[in-house]
Amino acid sequence: MSNDDKEGGITADDWGAALSEQGQAEALQAKPAAANVFQDFGDRNVKSGTTHDIEFILDIPVQLTVELGRTKIAIKNLLQLAQGSVIELNGLAGEPMDVLVNGCLIAQGEVVVVNDKFGIRLTDITSPAERIRKLNR
């Protein structure tokens, strides 16, 4: 053996084994594929067995948020907040609250109290076309 064969740690036997494996792989690929490997979907009616309702997604949970307003505040002012501090929001008193689903505005409403719990009465729902338009931004 020459020094060239030993330099990279590859010997003539390694090359012979690699070429043998390559020949075996090529022989396996040359065999024709069996005709029954793929199913025939041509004769089936695609719509049979499928329903046109959306019941399969009705149990997917989403995050619903009611937003009173927003503001920007410097970190130094944020660190100075204490119990009893008041933060001014951009929303006005009596203005409708935004209702968001997964961060996307879908409606507006007014706050109500029912059995000592807060709720929201929807006063304006965005149209499906409007929601799709906002998603494409």
**Domains defined along the chain, listed by start:** 59-135 (2.30.330.10)
Q: What is the pLDDT of residue 90?
A: 87
Q: How far apart are CA 127 and CA 123, in angstroms?
A: 13
Write the CA distances from 99 to 29, 52, 103, integer angstroms. 59, 29, 9
Model pTM score = 0.52
Write the CA distances from 52 to 27, 33, 47, 118, integer angstroms. 48, 38, 9, 37
State yes or no: pLDDT of 115 exceeds 70.
yes
State yes or no: pLDDT of 4 exceeds 60.
no
- Averaged pLDDT of the chain: 78
